[in-house]
Amino acid sequence: MPRILTGIQPSGTLHIGNYFGAMRPILSLQEQGEVFVFLADLHALTSLRDADALRRNVRDAALDLLACGLDPERTLFWRQSDVAFHAELMWILSTVTPMGLMERMVAYKEKVQKGIPAGVGLFTYPILQAADILLYDADVVPVGKDQKQHLEATRDIAIKINEAYGVGVLKLPEPLISEDVAVVPGLDGQKMSKSYGNTIDIFMPEKALRKKVMGIVTDSTPLEAPKDPEGSIILALYRLVAPADEVARMDADFRAGGIGYGDFKKRLFEAIWTYFAPMRERRAELEARPDYVDDVLADGARRAKEIAERTIDRVWKAVGLR
Ligand code: ADP
Ligand code: TRP
């Protein structure tokens, strides 16, 4: 069975784009292999310098994942900083990583352009990511397209280690880039993203959620006129959360005319509210158990450490540190 590993940056509230673009695909892999998921809190330090916010984000991300169906019995789930070997392996990897390889990383340049301080940690971020992956002998790493280059770098770094210290010291992972994951549009039709302020968060209170949905941008087609279902933000979101027959009905109602966008938005709100109801309930349940998240993460860390230790031991011996 392939070992599937991925890291999630705890970066605040979960929106519909995150859910359908990242979380649901990962959770569905739980049926297909041995899944390892960790919260990349060490990586988060490269863009967040607020201790309370980081603590809150980690807890929220853990609750979100657990509420959305991450099963900690089946899936190994831990927090990166709980397993110190991530940082230790990173150091060893950095000694074989060519400067030129890091200098080619596009994500670094994009982040600096966005205004994130150009620190050494941000620059070497992909080496820590390589350590995350190589530490667990992962076979497959599901990531978004934007992470493809980091996966290639991971393989290059593993090859460098194996060339220097012996075949098979580190296992080469394969990226799993889901090309077919559609980009979920936000309120204004651009890609839904925290950085555009156009998100619909899945665990919003009812009133706030209703207000968001009612704020979706529409054209000025009058109520009586037929409306174009193609390119409609309302329908694009509705397709994700409504049953097929309801989607077909909305599509037909668009074409027929006589119904205004306000009405479609109300249907969309109801569908979103209903779709996420079980997760919302589960999240409230878990939140009410004060130690639950800590216990899950502590147990995950203990199990992750055992696996990571075998790899780091192999690496230490290979390079001559033991
Ligand atoms: P944001 O753009 O809101 O900051 P992140 O960059 O933190 O979101 O994304 C976390 C994960 O969610 C990534 O795997 C990303 O590909 C996915 N994701 C984010 N927004 C969308 C979207 N609008 N459609 C599909 N997937 C998305
Ligand atoms: N860099 C990834 C992102 O921004 C998060 C991440 C950190 C990761 N370590 C990883 C993903 C290891 C896959 C494997 O989304």
Q: 145 or 110: whose pLDDT is higher?
A: 110
Model pLDDT for residues 93-111, shown as the tens digit of each residue? 999 999 999 999 999 999 9
State the pLDDT at residue 293: 97
pLDDT score recorded for residue 178: 79
Q: Closest residue (by CA) to atom 9 of ligand 1? A: 18
Q: What is the pLDDT of residue 31?
A: 86
For 163-183, what is the mean pLDDT? 91
- Say how many Å lie between the CA of residue 194 and the centre of ligand 1: 8
- What is the number of the ligand 1 atom nearest to the C-alpha of 18? 12
- Counting from 1 in the atom list of ligand 1, the atom nearest the Cα of 145 is 16
3-state secondary structure the chain: CCEEEEEECCCCCCEHHHHHHHHHHHHHHHHCCEEEEEECHHHHCCCCCCHHHHHHHHHHHHHHHHHCCCCCCCCEEEEHHHCCHHHHHHHHHHCCCCHHHHHCCHHHHHHHHHCCCCCHHHHCHHHHHHHHHHCCCCCEEEECHHHHHHHHHHHHHHHHHHHHHCCCCCCCCEEEECCCCCCCECCCCCECCHHHCCCCECCCCHHHHHHHHHCCCCCCCCCCCCCCCCCCHHHHHHHHHCCHHHHHHHHHHHHHCCCCHHHHHHHHHHHHHHHCHHHHHHHHHHHCCCCHHHHHHHHHHHHHHHHHHHHHHHHHHHHCCC
- Ligand at shortest distance from the CA of 20: 1
Q: Is the CB of 14 under 6 A from ligand 1?
A: no
| Residues 37-59, mean pLDDT to the nearest whole number | 96
Q: How much is the pLDDT for 133?
A: 98
pLDDT digits (tens, 9 = 90+) for 100-143: 999 999 999 999 999 999 999 999 999 999 999 999 999 999 98
Averaged pLDDT of the chain? 96
The tens digit of pLDDT for each residue in 151-168 reads: 999 999 999 999 999 999
Domains, the chain, ordered by start: 3-184+290-319 (3.40.50.620), 204-275 (1.10.240.10)
**What residues act catalytically?**
111, 191, 194
Taking the model in full, what pTM does it have? Answer: 0.94
- More confident: 13 or 281: 281
Mean pLDDT confidence for 39-61: 96
Q: Residue 181: is its pLDDT beyond 80? A: no
% of the chain exceeding 90 in pLDDT: 92
Ligand 2 centroid from CA 81, angstroms: 14
Look at residue 209 in the predicted model and tell me its pLDDT.
97
Work out the pLDDT band at 176, boundaries 50, 70, 90.
very high
